[in-house]
Amino acid sequence: MSPVKTTKARKTVKKTRPAAKAKPVKARAAKTKAKAAKTASAKPRVLVKEKIAQSGIDLLKKEFSVDVRLDMDQAQLKKEIKKYNAIIIRSSTRMTKEIIEAGDALKVIGRAGIGVDNVDVKAATKKGVIVANAPQSNIVAAAEHTIGLLLAQSRNIPQAHGSLKAGKWERSSFGGVELADKVLGVIGFGRIGVLVAQRAKGLKMKILAFDPYVSAARFEELGVEGVDNIDDLYKTADFITVHLPKSPETLGFVDEAAFRKMKKGVRVINCARGGIIKEEALVKALKSGKVAGAAIDVFEKEPPAGNPLLDFDSVVVTPHLGASTIEAQDRAGTIIAEQVAAALNNQFVSNAVNIAPVSPEEMNVVRPFLPLVENLGRLIVELADGPLEKFDITYQGVLADYNTKLLTVAFFKGAFEGRVEDTVNYVNAEGIAEERGIGVTETKSRKAVDFTNLITVTSEDKRGKLTVGGTTIGPKHRPRFVKIYRHDIDIEPGQYMAFFRYDDVPGMIGRVGSMLGDHNINIANMNVGRKKREGKAVMSVTLDKPIPAEVLKAIKAQPGFDDITFITFT
- Exactly one of 63, 170, 302, 421 is catalytic; name it: 302
DSSP, collapsed to helix, strand or coil, labels residue 441 as strand
**Cα–Cα distances in Å, from 282 out to 243, 255, 382?**
17, 8, 62
How far is it, in rounded angstroms, from Cα 458 to Cα 440? Answer: 10
Percentage above 90 pLDDT, the chain: 68
Q: Average of pLDDT values for 311-316? A: 96
Closest C-alpha to 426, from 495, 493, 374, 468: 374
Angle, alpha carbons 186-187-190 (nearest 5°): 90
Q: Answer yes or no: is pLDDT of 30 > 80.
A: no
Q: Classify strands 478-484 and 464-473 as parallel, antiparallel or unpaired.
A: antiparallel
320 tagged catalytic:
yes
How far is it, in rounded angstroms, from Cα 47 to Cα 107? Answer: 12
What length is written for the chain? 570
Quickly state the pLDDT bin for 22 (edges 50, 70, 90).
very low
DSSP state, residue 81: G
Q: Which fold, 139-317?
A: Rossmann fold (3.40.50)
How far is it, in rounded angstroms, from Cα 273 to Cα 296? Answer: 10
Q: Residue 349: its pLDDT value, please?
A: 86
Could you tell me how far CA 244 lies from the centroid of its own chain?
A: 19
Question: Which uninterrupted H or E stretch holds 257?
Answer: helix 256-261
- Exactly one of 273, 378, 419, 486 is catalytic; name it: 273
Could you tell me how far CA 405 lies from the centroid of its own chain?
A: 12
Quickly state the pLDDT bin for 202 (edges 50, 70, 90).
very high
Quickly state the pLDDT bin for 247 (edges 50, 70, 90).
confident
Q: Answer yes or no: is pLDDT of 513 > 80.
A: yes
Q: Answer yes or no: is pLDDT of 472 > 80.
A: yes
CB 78, CB 99: distance < 8 Å: yes
Quickly state the pLDDT bin for 422 (edges 50, 70, 90).
low
Beta bridge partners of 556: none
- Exactly one of 90, 267, 320, 419 is catalytic; name it: 320
How far is it, in rounded angstroms, from Cα 250 to Cα 77? Answer: 30
Q: Residue 36: its pLDDT value, please?
A: 45
273 tagged catalytic:
yes
The amino acid at residue 153 is Q
Q: Answer yes or no: is pLDDT of 19 > 50.
A: no
Quickly state the pLDDT bin for 421 (edges 50, 70, 90).
low
Q: Answer yes or no: is pLDDT of 85 > 50.
A: yes
How far is it, in rounded angstroms, from Cα 218 to Cα 224? Answer: 9
**Contacts of 527 by beta carbon, 8 Å cutoff, 6+ apart:** 489, 490, 491, 539, 540
Q: pTM for the full model?
A: 0.59
268, exposed or middle or buried, with CB in 10 Å at 0-12, 13-18, 19+? buried
Quickly state the pLDDT bin for 8 (edges 50, 70, 90).
very low
Q: Residue 148: its pLDDT value, please?
A: 98
Closest C-alpha to 332, from 44, 53, 142, 146: 53
Which CATH number is 43-136+328-354 given? Answer: 3.40.50.720
Class of domain 366-568: alpha beta
DSSP, collapsed to helix, strand or coil, labels residue 2 as coil
How far is it, in rounded angstroms, from Cα 371 to Cα 255? Answer: 47
How far is it, in rounded angstroms, from Cα 433 to Cα 286? Answer: 54
Kindly report, as residue ranges, where domains of CATH 3.30.1330.90 are found in the chain. 366-568
How far is it, in rounded angstroms, from Cα 498 to Cα 483? Answer: 14
**Contacts of 284 by beta carbon, 8 Å cutoff, 6+ apart:** 256, 259
DSSP string, 268-330: EEE-S-TTSB-HHHHHHHHHHTSEEEEEES--SSSS-TT-GGGG-TTEEE-SS-TT-SHHHHH
302 tagged catalytic:
yes
Kindly report, as residue ranges, where domains of CATH 3.40.50.720 are found in the chain. 43-136+328-354, 139-317
